[in-house]
């Protein structure tokens, strides 16, 4: 069974097929090439096939692949995965405080096992877990140490991760409504079939060691609150006629939305650990300085809007154990460091700027009894983000300016950590409307 067609267009590859780009030219005419087998019966490359134009000319010295090229794409799906499932539970307690006031408190939870993990490139170097943490092999010459060097990359699907969600929910209902939720979702890899489904996603974590990526989910918003209300403004009974019709009968409505920020992961650019999964986004993880606040809370005063406190991060250093330190490759510009050692700054360990938004509306119904008893004309004035409050975007690792990559492959600061696409909400907007109701 093939994946959905949308998967091909979004990823530009299809398992079970050789895909490539062929330019229509006298040297490589498209006419008569598609649908022709890539090789002849004797095993030689068919010169009339699309394969010969795209792949057959890429033979590499020393490549042990039968096709003579180590740049082909393959796919891997775990052959005998365990049944994945999600356990869910919840409990709610509701109390009527007054005839028109109800309070509900609830606890919601779930636990997923054998969940999907997808990666752009599973063909990577496997690390070893040591007393100092996860260490990749000592490889000063850059030798290809991947699982299968005969391929350029291997797309992968496996079911070796888990997820957990717990939340406290509070709701107060009256004429004015309030709602509050506190929760946390954690997993090894927040993914759909596309893998990096969210702006803060990292496409390929380490499928062989899911515990490395255990942390808050990419879509986790720890705190969220919504308060909305409608107020019937008291009228002036002394007013009659046109003046009373204009002043009396107004209703005001408002919605306040408050969220804690989205999450991001501080990274080292390049492939300092030597994972060699170049078909995906390569990266390293720095060390977090204990007790240091990773957020610059005064970022609005910074001319570059630097949000991440980069002083809180450094490259991993060689451990005191001489047996492990001897297997360390230092960063080019940091003596005593250990580039092939995974740092302790976890996945999604930085909380981005929070969100505050206030919408406001006022409306009034004008009855038109001369037409019918139910005929009304409603005037509405609506304002979105009425306070014109700026809400800032989190620095991301592989979206926009890649500003969450705060250290370079040499070990020095990159000058990142800033808000590349500052605002996520529009400035204040207003609209006026007339609505006919009958």
Considering only residues 54 and 333, tell me which one the structure prediction assigns the higher pLDDT. Answer: 333
Range of the domain at 272: 85-437
26 within domain boundaries? yes
Q: Are 177 and 300 found together in one domain?
A: yes
**Model confidence pLDDT, tens digit, residues 24-35:** 555 554 434 445
C-alpha to C-alpha distances, 114 to 77, 208, 211, 299, nearest whole angstrom: 14, 14, 13, 40
Between residues 7 and 155, the one the model is more confident about: 155
Lowest mean pLDDT among 187-196, 342-351, 354-363: 187-196
Are 195 and 271 part of one and the same domain?
yes
Task: State whether 313 and 174 are in the same domain.
Answer: yes
Report pLDDT for 420: 76
15 and 161 part of one domain: no
Q: Quick one: 47 and 107 in the same domain?
A: no
Count up the domains in the chain and report the number. 2
Q: Are residues 18 and 144 in the same domain?
A: no
380 within a domain of the structure (yes/no): yes
> Would you say residue 76 lies in a domain?
no
The residue out of 43, 69, 95 marking a domain boundary is 69
User: Residues 278-311: pLDDT tens digits?
Assistant: 777 889 999 999 999 999 999 999 999 999 999 9
Say whether both 149 and 233 belong to one domain: yes
Q: Considering only 45-49, 272-276, 412-416, which range has the smallest mean pLDDT?
A: 45-49
Confidence tier at 230 by pLDDT (50, 70, 90): confident
Which residue, 69, 100, 126, sits at the end of a domain? 69
Check: CB of residue 313 under 8 Å from CB of residue 285: no
**pLDDT tens digit string along 419-436?**
977 788 999 999 999 989
**Would 74 be classed as within a structural domain?**
no
Shared domain check, 57 and 127: no
* Rounded Cα distance, 305 and 391, in Å: 13
For the ranges 168-177, 220-229, 248-257, the lowest mean pLDDT is seen at 168-177
pTM: 0.77
- Please state, rounded to an integer, the average pLDDT across all residues of the chain: 82
CA distance 41 to 23: 26
pLDDT for the residue numbered 201: 83
Q: Do 41 and 102 belong to one domain?
A: no
Q: Is 79 a domain residue?
A: no
> Is the residue at 196 inside a domain?
yes
Which distant-in-sequence residues (6+ apart) come within 8 Å of 42 by Cβ?
none
Most confident of 32-36, 189-193, 229-233, 317-321: 317-321
Same domain for 60 and 205, yes or no, is no
| Residue 56 in domain | yes
Structural domain contains residue 80: no
20 and 157 assigned to the same domain: no
Q: So what's the pLDDT on residue 98?
A: 83
Pair (433, 367) in one structural domain? yes
């Amino acid at each position: 069974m093939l994946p959905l067609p949308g998967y091909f267009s979004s990823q530009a590859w299809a398992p079970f097929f050789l895909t490539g780009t062929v330019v229509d030219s006298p040297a490589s005419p498209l006419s008569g090439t598609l649908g022709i087998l890539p090789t002849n019966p004797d095993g030689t490359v068919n010169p009339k096939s699309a394969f010969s134009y795209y792949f057959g000319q890429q033979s590499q010295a020393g490549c042990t692949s039968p096709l003579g090229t180590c740049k082909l794409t393959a796919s891997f799906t775990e052959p005998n995965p365990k049944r994945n499932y999600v356990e869910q539970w919840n409990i709610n307690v509701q109390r009527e405080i007054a005839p028109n006031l109800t309070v509900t408190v609830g606890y919601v939870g779930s636990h997923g096992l054998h969940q999907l993990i997808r990666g752009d490139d599973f063909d990577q170097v496997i690390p070893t877990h040591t007393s100092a943490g996860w260490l990749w092999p000592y490889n000063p010459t850059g030798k290809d140490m991947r699982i299968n060097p005969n391929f350029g990359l291997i797309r992968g699907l496996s079911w070796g991760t888990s997820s957990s969600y717990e939340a406290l929910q509070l709701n107060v209902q009256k004429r004015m409504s309030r709602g509050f939720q506190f929760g946390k979702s954690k997993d090894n890899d927040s993914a759909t079939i596309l893998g990096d489904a969210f702006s803060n996603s990292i496409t390929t974590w380490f499928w062989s060691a899911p515990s490395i990526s255990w942390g808050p989910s990419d879509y986790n918003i720890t705190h969220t609150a919504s308060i909305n209300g409608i107020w019937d403004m008291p009228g002036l009974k002394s007013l009659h006629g046109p003046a009373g019709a204009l002043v009396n009968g107004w209703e005001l409505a408002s919605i306040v939305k408050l969220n804690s920020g989205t999450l991001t992961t501080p990274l080292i650019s390049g492939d300092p650990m030597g994972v060699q999964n170049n078909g995906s986004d390569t990266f390293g993880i720095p060390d977090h300085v204990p007790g240091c606040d990773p957020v610059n809370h005064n970022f609005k005063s910074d001319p570059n809007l630097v949000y991440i406190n980069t002083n809180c991060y450094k490259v991993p250093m060689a451990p005191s154990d001489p047996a492990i330190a001897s297997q360390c490759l230092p960063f080019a510009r940091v003596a005593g460091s250990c580039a092939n050692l995974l740092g302790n700054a976890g996945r999604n360990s930085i909380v981005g700027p929070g969100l505050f938004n206030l919408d406001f509306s006022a409306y009034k119904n004008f009855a038109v009894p001369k037409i019918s008893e139910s005929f009304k004309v409603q005037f509405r004035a609506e304002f979105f983000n009425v306070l014109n409050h700026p809400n800032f975007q989190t620095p991301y690792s592989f979206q926009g300016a890649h500003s969450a990559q705060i250290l370079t492959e040499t070990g020095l600061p990159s000058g990142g950590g800033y808000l590349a696409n500052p605002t996520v909400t529009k400035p204040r907007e207003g609209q006026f409307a007339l609505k006919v109701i009958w």
